[in-house]
Chains A and B, each alone.
Chain A
Amino acid sequence: MARANRFRSTLAALAALPGLAGPAAADQDVVIDIIGGVEGATPIAIVPFQPQDGAAPGTDIADIISADLARTGRFEVLPEEDLVETPSRMADVDFATWRALGVDYLALGEVSPAGEARYEVRYELLNAYQEGRTDGHRYRAAAQDLRTVAHTLSDRIYEQITGRSGAFTQKIAYIAVDKGEGEQGRQYRLVVADADGHRSQTILTSEEPLLSPAWSPDRERLAYVSFEGGSSEVFVQDVHTGERERVAAFRGINSAPAWSPDGERLAVTLSRDGAANIHLIDVASGDVHPVTRHWAIDTAAAWGPDGDWLYFTSDRGGPPQIYRTHPDGQQTERVTYEGSYNARPSIGPSGERMAMVHRQDGAYYIAVQDLETETVRVISDGPADESPSFAPNGDMVLYTVGGEAGERLATASVIGNAIAPLRATEQEGTRLREPDW
């Protein structure tokens, strides 16, 4: 795909170095490798936060913020080598210098010791043209929580400048598949991590496939599919306690869980009565209600934000397309018409847009369809992209990049054309897929 605006910022070359993906390299290495970016993206400089009084926090806050903001497509982050000065307070800032570098905003700050393995982070967001402070805040946190502080700052900056809420403090979930010895020994893990893939924590390990993780609306539980019983079954697991419950294990397939916005029901695909159809399971009682009743494959349900509509993949008209119906199964209508294959919907938080897997010339891309105008726009590079998941703010889509190189995760911005890989802290050779943000 041709892209109007193409730049590669800062440490892109590092991405080619072997070993960076290993856990040893883990949190020190934030690699920014953004392709694209929106025309008219806001130029911003993130100045390295200056350590004070011998602080050595081991977390590069500015690096994390830079990577977060570049990922959104709405910011053009000044490459680190172009930073001619590293002020840490507004009083030390020569605004003319920053205007000459072409930035509209700069973020800067300090990290000071605040007790045993704790730090205080002081941050300011400055407007280079108004020569004034747009935002400022202090945080105190344990050393291991400084990445949370960094993502919080990313969200603050994003909100201050775009007027939209940020998404970087929300955790993601994904499935990791560790390469085994030959056919055997493959290991599947359900992982929760920061939005940039760091600080990953495995919350379930299995020798049989795991798939389709889905966050509950309260972010306390994950629903997913496990083959541990020999066939597909749906589980719900408390992320904190690890307690889990099998909620669907009927004859045939039990798959594709999706939480209702109120968190009380799961839409799932069951084939217990023959064909794969969408059903609703009341999580508390376990009661099952069919939604679709069709001989074709109906699967991969996604809720609209107000719970009025269930979007799903169906091949009732031939190749897979996306349809929607009300949760009581009334008024089913086709939603996608562009292209011969559209599947696996994810609905944005405002309900205005739908992300999906979209085939074009034999390749699979992530596309976003405006649900009002029905305009479809491809936002990923293909050729084997899968499993889109909207960021909680609707401004990015997290998805699986497939293909010969093995599966990995990436984000694409909905506005603009920023595509950025997610550098998860996983072993080299581990496949990462099916993210849910």
Chain B
Amino acid sequence: MSTTGTAPTTLGRLRLLGAAAGLGLLAGCASWTGGQGGMDEGPAEEVEGSEVATGETDDSSEADAQGLSEAEQERARAQGLDPEDPLDAAVLEDPDSPLATRRIHFDFDDSAIRDEYVPVLEAHGAFLAEHPEEELTIEGHTDERGSREYNLALGERRAESVEEMLRAHGAQPGQLETVSYGEEKPLVDASNEEAWAENRRAKLIYED
């Protein structure tokens, strides 16, 4: 249940990445490829500057299943990952990839994307743009406090703010679906600050 394992470690890095990605977006949406292709060509510089893509600097443009050793592929399958699947391949390629993060968290009664998750959603948005065949369901969840009915709407608002950011980074409307569970499906079944923080989340689920 580690939620922070893939999060960058310093705020400075985050800002840097945000700026770099923003630049890339202006340059024509294709700058931050993020996926299996690694970061060939010009934009790699920006991404490199972000220091997020540490595992992807080998510049392999064929970093899909073929790029993995037999042993790696076997291990991947054991983990439930499919090396043939572009998304899984990208994550296998780089366990630190923002694509490996499928859950983002929110502040209390808030649906704004926190700074630390901006690179995650940028990466997913770019991945979806690169892979129009991929479809993603975004689940919005809240903690248990307050009105259940309000929380159902708040969960939807969280899912939508994720959707909005993914679209801003190239995902197409047809690839995305949102569903709110409000407070009905807590990740951690407890009533304390830690559990509430875990439960205020949006979950990204790629369709098989």
Taking Cβ atoms with an 8 Å cutoff, the residues of A that contact B are 209, 211-212, 227, 230-232, 252-253, 255-256, 269, 271, 276, 297, 299-300, 313, 315, 319-320, 341, 343-344, 357, 359, 364, 384, 386-387, 402-404, 433-434
Contacts and interface: CB of A to CB of B under 8 A. Distances in A.
Given A252-B156, A271-B156, A387 B181 contact: no
Nearest to A312: B149
A386 B146 CA distance: 7
Contact of B146 (A231, A232, A256, A320): A320
Interface in B103-153: 109, 144-150, 152-153
B146 A269 contact: no
B191 interface: yes
Nearest to A256: B149
A408 B121 CA distance: 39
A253 B145 contact: no
Nearest to A433: B148
Nearest to B195: A404
A227 B147 contact: no
9 contacts: A211-B148, A211-B152, A211-B184, A212-B148, A212-B149, A253-B156, A299-B147, A344-B147, A404-B192
Given A297-B154, A402-B191, A403-B191, A255 B149 contact: yes
Q: How large is the interface on B (under 10, 10 to 19, 20 to 34, 35 or more residues)?
A: 20 to 34
Interface centre among B146, B148, B157, B185 (most CB of A within 10 A): B148
A227 B184 contact: yes
A253 B181 CA distance: 9
Contacts of A299: 147, 149-150, 152-153
Given A209-B181, A227-B181, A402 B144 contact: yes
Interface of B: 109, 144-150, 152-154, 156-157, 178-181, 184-185, 190-192
Given A232-B180, A253-B153, A253-B180, A300 B185 contact: no
A386 B180 CA distance: 20
A142 B146 CA distance: 43
Contact of B148 (A227, A320, A386): A386
Closest 9 CB pairs of A and B: A343-B147, A209-B184, A276-B153, A300-B149, A344-B147, A297-B153, A256-B149, A404-B191, A231-B179
B147 A386 contact: yes
A129 to B, nearest CB: 47
Nearest to A271: B156
Interface centre among A209, A253, A357 (most CB of B within 10 A): A253
Contacts of A230: 179
A263 B181 CA distance: 28
Contact of A313 (B147, B179, B181): B147
Given A364-B145, A384-B191, A402-B144, A313 B150 contact: yes
Given A319-B109, A384-B145, A403-B191, A300 B150 contact: yes
A212 B184 CA distance: 12
Contacts of A434: 148
B149 A384 contact: no
A152 to B, nearest CB: 33
Interface centre among A230, A255, A319, A384 (most CB of B within 10 A): A255
Given A227-B181, A232-B180, A403-B191, A271 B148 contact: no
Given A209-B181, A211-B184, A404 B149 contact: no
B152 to A, nearest CB: 5
Given A319-B109, A404-B190, A297 B147 contact: no
Contact of B147 (A209, A271, A276, A387): A387
A345 to B, nearest CB: 10
A327 to B, nearest CB: 18
Nearest to A400: B148
Contacts of B152: 211, 232, 253, 255-256, 269, 299
